Amino acid sequence: MNYFSSNFKLGILGGGQLGKMMLYDTRKFDIYTCVLDPSPEAPSRLACDEFNVGDLMDYDTVINFGKNVDVLTIEIENVNVDALETLEKQDVKVFPSSKTLRTIQNKATQKLFYRDNNIPTADFMRFSDSSKINKVVDNGDLVFPFVWKSARFGYDGTGVKVVRNENDLVDLPNVECITEKLIPFKNELAVIVARNEIGDVKTYPVVEMEFHPEANQVEYVICPARIPDAISQKAETVALKVASAFEHVGLLAVEMFQTENDDILVNEVAPRPHNSGHYSIEASYTSQFEQQIRCVLGLPLGDTKSKVAGVMVNLVGADGHTGDVVYKNIDKILAMEGVTPHIYGKKQTRPFRKMGHVTIVNKDVAVARKVAEKVKKSIAVICE
């Protein structure tokens, strides 16, 4: 099929920053794109060929959108899976598949999938609602501390809480959930796997993630991870096993823990471009966003190696600031060598909302990490 400068239409469910960055590459290739998002102010609205406003969880809306495109992909996994399944039966190519998304959308079914496929993950328990946890704690079958996760609709630190005592149980939302054993770990790692329909597969280098202690959001992504080669190989092997088990088509970001004993445990996955791969726009031969397009269109996979070391800093709304966004001191970071900011196009900031990111590249990862610290201290996302 001729995808370039043709009548072919690529549909993207979701018009947030991930979609926007994917559209950089569809414009480079002159691939006609249609985007569906619930917000008329979505970041992707200016970069696609057709922008549609609609509810991603509404069956009819997704059906009507999907039947007018040739290939349908996502930039967010919270979409109507029943609609995707119907579209597949109508011979619309949907990547990732409805089957994969149905499993991943729910953290309980995701964890059961790991258990069924002998993929290493933290011990867990599942609950129809959070009120059932108290009885299990009282019986002694669940001991503090542990991690509580909402089964559905968690993102960027929401829907996750470390439960250290009975007081922490009081304000939990009463929803379907899981609890996980709290794992002592050395590092939080991630591997992005690129896989196409015929099973060609490549992995990006293992990255290391440093988290904000309050918001439970990634503050820094460091590539390459500062870990021994043997640990990197072990992480890549686990990530490849996960992608193969899902028979995934597209990008799969596999988040993992490196335990104190150097075991690798899968935390969770994202079946799309991911925050842990943003560094690749500047640092890799093929960015994760171009790779997603190559995967879903069945094009040859690009080179995943890094040209230089890269560190990514998330730009999130400052605590106590809600309103029209201002990027304070952005001129200072623009003057730093190897620094590239990406502003997502969200007009309103609020505490810890992802508003952009900054990539720092250098031949030496230690130097890049030091510059990243300066970037973090210099720039602030505030309101007027």
Q: Give binding residues for ATP as ranges.
A: 107, 149, 180-183, 188, 267-268
Q: Residue 223 forms beta bridges with which residues?
A: 310
Query: For residue 138, how many C-alpha atoms fall within 13 Å in the half-sphere facing its CB?
Result: 6
Specify the 3-state DSSP secondary structure of 361: strand
The secondary structure of 206-240 as a DSSP string is: PEEEEE-TTT--EEEEEES-SS-HHHHHHHHHHHH
Name the residue among 332, 330, 277 with its Cα closest to residue 306.
277
Give dist(CA 209, CA 274) in Å, integer.
12
| Sheet of 160-163, strand order | 124-127, 177-181, 146-150, 160-163
Q: Residue 324 forms beta bridges with which residues?
A: 348
User: CA dist 246 to 131, 178, 211, 347, Å?
Assistant: 32, 21, 27, 37
Annotated binding-site ranges: 107, 149, 180-183, 188, 267-268
Specify the 3-state DSSP secondary structure of 327: strand
Hunting for tokens 């080669």 — which residue is that?
Answer: 229
Phi-psi region of 230 (alpha: psi -120 to 50; beta: other; left: phi over 0): alpha
